[in-house]
Structure 1
């Protein structure tokens, strides 16, 4: 199974990223409406100072929406992505309101009013987003608000791009024409033939956007077509050999005046999403340690102590983010001082019916309870609740030369559970093919992270703990 077959391709061609100011104005009006409605629901009397609070919250919404790209063109973006972009803005609203009421010493109905405001705002903005999306996509599919598109470049690239647009009429693009060349044996693309096609296509027709899709970046070819389009006032976009790389996501950003393409981009490179994931980790781990670990850990510790001699916890050095060593906490499941080194000096992985595992340890491994102390790692910041599972240092050193893209999985903090684990790739990996598949799943998770995906993985992990995992031993 290749990396790209794990799930349907998530490559998104965002042909437009224009700001949509009417949507911002509409949301600010909804913000004001939500504030007044929340005050009415909680019987909180409005005062003159509330005008200042609403103004401050409107400014907070403006800046947070810019940081989260909430109002970028959404015709090629999924609704889930829109909702995820909304979450940081709601969090900022909550914080701004709490701080404002604190400094104004307005303690009347503070808790109920704040919760009511955020709930009403979330509901109204979500309904507005959904309705706007459905309306715009209905118009686009009916031919309203269409943009005329022409695609030129290497034939396979052109066919793939054309197929994508044709399968998604809601994107709002009409293809005026396509022209592709076969790359076999060519040193340079056929520029004159491309220009002749463009001249013919543009006669009597308005081209809004031109997509150049060569398989490799040919500077002279792209530069000449851009010059032709500039003379016509046509917007140009191009895919400079993206698909020659084995990655499923890319992002484009400005570094000063230089546009840079990031290969294997991840949403967590944005501070807003990283902070949201970290907040989830802190809240989840703190609640678990207080509500569950406070009574469960002593019971497990007692069972381990009665079963065999030795310490309750097992602390092992593993590779964390960027390959740095971290000390990972686990409940001890093997007999004290059991060796992790084979006779040939290699890393001795745990196997089914491993004689090193104690009776209690076998139960802990089967139910994944041995991993629970890693919530301490999460709270301290060396791990995340969800992420690629960390491997022992010696295991990682042995695997690194055998899998070319192994280190990509270390771009994020390791997790207590992960996408590979809930898809059955856990436990012993003596076969290098199984390890490659595990790495493929880890890379897919890194490139396609979302908070919703983290929740899904947590729920599937909990289900597997109850059901029992045949690979857990």
Structure 2
């Protein structure tokens, strides 16, 4: 709403007519501005939780966001409007007004939130039950930071500990008296899972005293980098891994980008380059132009992966199921095929897979099924690669992890790259990978053979 007010005011300053904003070109410009503002705000976390940034940090983010918004909007005007220069003053007024109003809106929001939290007793007095390493970590990272506005009344455990700056209050059996004579809002349970009797006792005492109980779980010991808490039929459920592409919104944007990019590529490049490659393949060796192979896609579903054929045809008597990875100086690779592999041009038909929806432009590379069957039982977390669509290129490939995986360590390294990508996906990361792939295609990849 504030952006609309700023745009209407800018239009008035520019033309002297407040209703000029309903003119179709201006409607398109404002709609584009909203879309750019939303996407950039998602990237820079402009509307994230206010406890993440101080006000000064938030203003730094805002300035970066405003500059990016201005540059992208100017670029779109230059791209689609031949007379884009007539909108220069409008865009100038628009961004000056945004620069002048958004900081006040952000500050007003912070003051309002602070007032509401103060009125509703935002700072909570808490008691921690359990004084082991888990409780100590929670105390150091959560309470001392105080971004959660918790006031630690004390810690109780059957074994005395001295790592809480004099906050140790006694044994667990003293819990009823502590709740009775202290103003405690919530109790945090940090006991080991196998101490069920103590856990049940603490929960029973807290419920009798109408105190809220929270369980602290150390999921980090499982080596899990990200978690997501959801609710099913009233039961809190913790997902051991959270991937950005689990969100429908992110899936939609990634799929939209795949479709647009594939269509542009197929029309502008593949349409003339593919016939040239096809002729070279046919002149170099007998056999079909395209190589088709079953591989595992999203959720282990079989897909047909297309590539330009780079190897000599097998003899009929050879066992087609005898899978063997391509090696350096592999005699099965044709001379044309060696060039195609070195420049990654053999992967171009997979844009058809992308357009059909079985693959994405960026994602974990799909492996031949025999290689997946061989790896899934010996490589930790290997099958997690298939929780997203496979890609023509990926984070592992641009980091040099491609080619033959002769040792389990090689595959393990590749899987780690793939999992990092899945857990840290963003639109800009995809753009970076595509750019790095193009650079590698131009200079040639030493691991491509």
TM-score of the two chains, using structure 1 as the length reference: 0.66
Distance in 1 (alpha carbons) for counterparts of 2:363 and 2:105: 30
Alpha-carbon spacing, 1:197–1:275, altered in 2? closer, same or farther (3 Å)? same
Distance in 2 (alpha carbons) for counterparts of 1:195 and 1:70: 47
Counterpart for residue 467 of structure 1: 443
Matched, 1:266 2:243: yes
Alpha-carbon spacing, 1:357–1:419, altered in 2? closer, same or farther (3 Å)? same
- Of residues 193-202 and 366-375 in structure 1, the stretch that sits farther from structure 2 once superposed is 193-202
What is the deviation of 1:354? 0.6
- Provide, for residues 1-42 of structure 1, a one-character-per-residue CA deviation record: whole Å limited to 9, x for no partner: xxxxxxxxxxxxxxxxxxxxxxxxxxx4x2332441564588
Q: Give aligned pairs, total.
A: 389
Q: Is the 8 A contact 1:215 1:242 kept in 2?
A: no
Q: Is the 8 A contact 2:158 2:171 kept in 1?
A: no
What is the deviation of 1:194? 4.2
Q: Is the 8 A contact 1:217 1:240 kept in 2?
A: no
Counterpart for residue 367 of structure 1: 343
Counterpart for residue 354 of structure 2: 378
Find the residue that maps to 1:389 and give its secondary structure: coil
Q: Which residues of structure 2 form unaligned runs of 5+?
A: 74-83, 115-121, 160-168
Of the three residues 409, 419, 440, the one matched with 2:385 is 409
Alpha-carbon spacing, 1:32–1:431, altered in 2? closer, same or farther (3 Å)? same
What is the deviation of 1:459? 2.5
Distance in 1 (alpha carbons) for counterparts of 2:444 and 2:248: 37
What is the deviation of 1:157? 1.9
Matches within 5 A, 1:295-306: 295-306=272-283
Matched, 1:33 2:11: no
Alpha-carbon spacing, 1:432–1:215, altered in 2? closer, same or farther (3 Å)? farther
Find the residue that maps to 2:389 and give its secondary structure: coil
Matched, 1:161 2:131: no
Alpha-carbon spacing, 1:35–1:430, altered in 2? closer, same or farther (3 Å)? same
Measured on the aligned residues, the alpha-carbon RMSD in Å equals 4.9
Distance in 2 (alpha carbons) for counterparts of 1:282 and 1:470: 30
- Provide, for residues 154-179 of structure 1, a one-character-per-residue CA deviation record: whole Å limited to 9, x for no partner: 62222333343479676666666556
Q: Is the 8 A contact 2:8 2:21 kept in 1?
A: no
- Provide, for residues 264-322 of structure 1, a one-character-per-residue CA deviation record: whole Å limited to 9, x for no partner: 12122221121122122222222222232233323333332333232222121111011
Alpha-carbon spacing, 1:382–1:392, altered in 2? closer, same or farther (3 Å)? same
Q: Which residues of structure 1 form unaligned runs of 5+?
A: 1-27, 95-108, 140-144, 183-190
Counterpart for residue 222 of structure 2: 245
- Provide, for residues 209-252 of structure 1, a one-character-per-residue CA deviation record: whole Å limited to 9, x for no partner: 65433453766545554566667776654333423434221111
Q: Is the 8 A contact 1:328 1:377 kept in 2?
A: yes
Counterpart for residue 212 of structure 1: 189
Counterpart for residue 376 of structure 2: 400
TM-score of the two chains, using structure 2 as the length reference: 0.69
Alpha-carbon spacing, 1:240–1:365, altered in 2? closer, same or farther (3 Å)? same
Matched, 1:193 2:165: no
More RCO (CA 8 Å, sep 6+) = 1
Counterpart for residue 81 of structure 2: none
Matches within 5 A, 1:128-167: 151-153=128-130, 155-165=132-142
- Provide, for residues 312-333 of structure 1, a one-character-per-residue CA deviation record: whole Å limited to 9, x for no partner: 2212111101111101111211
Find the residue that maps to 2:310 and give its secondary structure: coil
Matches within 5 A, 1:4-403: 28=1, 30-37=2-9, 39-40=11-12, 46-47=18-19, 73-76=49-52, 151-153=128-130, 155-165=132-142, 193-194=171-172, 196=174, 210-216=187-193, 221-222=198-199, 224-225=201-202, 236-337=213-314, 346-403=322-379
Q: Which has the larger radius of gyration?
A: 2
What is the deviation of 1:465? 2.4
